[in-house]
Amino acid sequence: MSHDSTKRGMNKIISPRTPAEGEHAVEEATPERIPDLEPFAVDPLFLGRLHAGKVSQGWAAAIVGVVAALTVIWAAGASGLFLQAKTADPFWVDVWNFVIRAESDNPYNGMPYLRDYPSIVLTFTIVASVLLVYALYQGASRLHSDMEASGCIKYNEAGRRALTGAVNAVNQRLQRWGKLSPIALILALGFTTLTNLGLQSELFSFLVPGLYENWWASLSPLRAGGILWVVFGAIGIYMVYIEAVVGLTYVAFLKRLKNDYQFRANMVNPDGFFGWLRLRQLITNMQAGALCTMLSAWALSFFLEPAMGTIATAAILAIFIGIVLYVFSAVNGNFRRQVRRDKQAQTESVAEDIAALSTRSDTEGLLALLVSYQKLEHISKIPATPIRQRWLVAAALSILGPLSAIVIQVVKYFTSS
């Protein structure tokens, strides 16, 4: 028997879409498809418009990246504060002075954009966050359809009704949040404006006092860069808001329906990742988002601490980081538990089949026994998480750098005289 014919036979025999006892076949008994989430409903201002225009992720990256680069160059260049003047300190020494908040012997007569390292980091992370959230929303809007098509969602008739009702309720909730999006954006604009103005006497004061007047993004004196800084900052805060709304809503959704439906692995591996390709993309984007969060927190601390004080800054950054990491760990942990339970259930089911078939000596029984052992081999290859372990380790290591920088700053906050 050829490998292809064997695999075709196995697809028929071990397809995870075959309902277990008490379940109903999706195609026959439940023709109505499970609705997908509508995450774009929470943001009708930006991402919702891109989605409605069917803008691909590639085009979105090109548009957002080019617009951000051109506006920064124009806004900073309009005041002659884009390029960094030649300095006595090497570039890496200059950067390190920011990281450890150290005084420098190199005089700082101005603060052009290319020397404002925290703003450079924020420019990158804000652009990246727009694209990551857009990709997350696109993936989430197709997650249930793709997972169902891959045979990776398991539920009975009662679970189908509960899941359908819960998804519809979540979508209605997201639509209500979407009506508040203009207010959230206005509040974000107000917050960034007040933060900018609050820096007038304290901007990068660990380097030298009085840098604000020669800062590329000042609002007093008014510069185009200052308006852009406020707008970019507001967009960044707004992205955190809409991502938090969808993330926390989805975590609550998963917890509420943990007994009504389960994600499962397709042991036949139709997409090269056990039917989890869409889920894997979502988790990967969330990992990248966690790294952007840590980098953003490090950069934000340079502006929040002098404008708002140490205690308020620590509280804001703790909430900011905590929400992102909570959503990531909760979603990943939920999927991990579901897969572990389903993997154990599949193993026990196959073990029962093997025990029942071990007494048979006819050809059909021996072939079924062989297939059962092949099932066990396939099940053993199912990973415990939608993301490979080495990627989880890499993600954890990647946040150590910005986390260490934040810790250094916190220590300096509380030990400085």
Residue written as token pair 């002075």: 97
- Per-residue model confidence (pLDDT) at position 332: 81
| Dist CA 335 CA 382 (whole Å) | 13
Compute φ and ψ for 20, nearest 5 degrees.
-80, 175
In b/e form, how buried is each residue of 339-366, taking b as 16+ CB within 10 angstroms?
beebbeebeeebeebeeebeeeeeeeee
Render 349-398 in DSSP notation, one character per residue.
Answer: HHHHHHHHHTT--SHHHHHHHHHHHHHHHHHHT--SSSS-HHHHHHHHHH
More confident residue, 404 or 221: 221
pLDDT at position 36 over 90: no
Residues in the chain: 417
Q: pTM (2 decimals)? A: 0.81
pLDDT band per the 50, 70, 90 thresholds, residue 4? very low
- Per-residue model confidence (pLDDT) at position 383: 73
More confident residue, 104 or 355: 355
* pLDDT over 70, % of the chain: 82
Range picked from 81-90, 152-161, 163-172, 233-242 for highest mean pLDDT: 233-242
- Per-residue model confidence (pLDDT) at position 14: 41
- Per-residue model confidence (pLDDT) at position 12: 39
Render 196-243 in DSSP notation, one character per residue.
Answer: HHTTTTTTTTTT-S--GGGBTT-BTTB-HHHHHHHHHHHHHHHHHHHH
- Per-residue model confidence (pLDDT) at position 391: 57
